[in-house]
Amino acid sequence: MKKRTLTTIAVVSAALMLTSCSGSDPMATSGGGSANGDTVVVGSADFAESQLIATIYSHALQNAGIKVEEKLNIGSREVYMEALRDGSISLLPEYNGYLLGELDADADASDRSTIDSQLEKLLSPEGIEVLDASKAENTDVLVVDQKVAKQHKLVNISDLKPVAGELVLAGPAEWKSRYVGLPGLEKEYGLSFKEFKVLDAGGPLTLSALQNGQAQVGDLFSTDPAIEKSKFVTLVDDKGLFLPANILPVIRKDSANKEVVKTLNEVSASLTTEDLMHMNGRIAAGDDFGAIADEWLKKN
């Protein structure tokens, strides 16, 4: 597979933020101590999906008899990665492709295993390691409604090639020039759409255009609960255009004992994109993070 660089990935990363939950400074709560070998301090970014996954990690570890402290809703990647480096926190969930793009914009993002091995190489000297990545990911996806999918027998993105000239694609303005956008869809898949409607990155404008028929194909994010709610069909990226964004635990080595690693890897082995889509929908409806996490853990 060709080398893909990640220079523009931070722009996409911002769109992962579903809902920010405001509150007091998490780094000043629970005594404000540092991570140590006896307590795993679980942190998260300042958006809902990250806080949810961190809560799942926290409750799973507690269920395994491990002492845990939570410092959720810390802030941006620049802030929480520094907290991980200085030992203020021990553990947090990340998105493999986006994290690699932050650490090395020129890194090879050919595939998931390459990304994870590069993350390990970059973080290991800082006393940090990445554990098993889950199947769950939050990345760009092309979606169509069921009627369009059935009419044109669409399963994979490559299935669009014979009919793209009849369809309108909705997405963000950056897609005009970004390789992971119109240029990549044309080069990798040979797609030339009837029209590209400039709207937003996986947001309400693109969703509305798909729902009212102004666009037949749209760019959303894979864990968006609107995909499930609207019963859209997610087309398989069979040529691997979109950057991987699998969720994985990032942990300080001094907290990564055998039981902690085993527990977190078991969470990763069970977590799916569909699970997150459903749980994000519950968050949007106002359900409690802890209750959602406990229900998922009990089921899985």
The answer to whether residues 163 and 183 belong to one domain is yes
120 and 260: one domain? yes
The pTM for the full model equals 0.82
- Evaluate whether residue 111 is within a structural domain: yes
User: Is the same domain home to 123 and 15?
Assistant: yes
146 and 130 share a domain?
Answer: no
Q: pLDDT class for 23, splitting at 50, 70, 90?
A: very low
Residues near 127 by Cβ (< 8 Å), separated by ≥ 6?
A: 252, 253, 254
Last residue of a domain, one of 215, 234, 253: 234
CA proximity to 257, closest of 63, 74, 67, 32: 67
Q: Are residues 84 and 201 in the same domain?
A: no
The distance of Cα 164 from the centroid of its chain, to the nearest Å, equals 28
Residues 122 and 258 in one domain: yes
Among 32-46, 139-153, 201-215, the minimum mean pLDDT is found in: 32-46
Residue 18 in tokens: 């579903």
255: in domain: yes
Same domain, 88 and 104: yes
Cβ–Cβ under 8 Å, residues 161 and 189:
yes
- Three-state DSSP string of the chain: CCCCCCCCHHHHHHCCCCCCCCCCCHHHCHHHCCCCCCCEEEEEECCHHHHHHHHHHHHHHHHCCCCEEEEEEEECHHHHHHHHHCCCCCEEEEEHHHHHHHHCCCCCCCCHHHHHHHHHHHHHHHCEEECCCCCCECCEEEEECHHHHHHHCCCEHHHHCCCHHHCEEEECHHHHCCCCCHHHHHHHHCCCCCEEEECCCCCHHHHHHHHHCCCCEEEEECCCHHHHHCCCEECECCCCCCCCCEEEEEEEHHHCCHHHHHHHHHHHHHCCHHHHHHHHHHHHCCCCHHHHHHHHHHHC
- Asked whether residue 1 is assigned to any structural domain, the reply reads no
Residue 159 has pLDDT above 80, yes or no: yes
Do 25 and 108 lie in one domain? The reply is yes
Bridge partners (DSSP) listed for residue 5: none
Q: What pLDDT does residue 72 have? A: 96
**Domain stops at, among 187, 214, 234:** 234
Let me know if residue 133 belongs to a domain.
yes
Looking at residue 247, its pLDDT comes to 97
* Tokens 């968050």 found at: 283
- Dihedral sign, Cα of residue 68, residue 72, residue 74, residue 78: positive
Assess if residue 60 is contained within a domain.
yes
| Domain membership flag for residue 2 | no
Q: Tell me the residue range of the domain where 73 lies.
A: 9-137+244-299
For residue 27 the two structure tokens come to 């780094």
- CA–CA dist 175, 42 (Å, integer): 35
CATH number of 81's domain: 3.40.190.10
Q: Are residues 129 and 144 in the same domain?
A: no
User: Is 163 a residue whose pLDDT tops 80?
Assistant: yes
Which one of 234, 260, 277 terminates a domain? 234
Q: What is the mean pLDDT of the chain?
A: 88
**pLDDT, tens digit, for every residue of 88-121?**
999 999 999 989 988 997 887 768 888 999 999 9
Residue 239 lies inside a defined structural domain of this protein: no
259 and 209 within one domain? no
What is the C-alpha to C-alpha distance for residues 83 and 54, in angstroms, rounded to an integer?
A: 15
Counted domains in the chain? 2
| Same domain assignment for residues 117 and 153 | no
Query: Which CATH number belongs to the domain containing residue 153 in this structure?
Result: 3.40.190.120
Task: State residue 27's pLDDT score.
Answer: 57
Q: Give me the pLDDT at residue 299, please.
A: 97
Measure the CA–CA gap between 189 and 54, rounded to whole angstroms.
37
Is the same domain home to 230 and 106?
A: no
Contacts of 264 (CB under 8 A, 6+ apart): 57, 60, 61, 91, 131, 132, 249, 251
pLDDT at residue 11 in the model: 40
Assess if residue 49 is contained within a domain. Answer: yes
Place of tokens 């926190």: 89
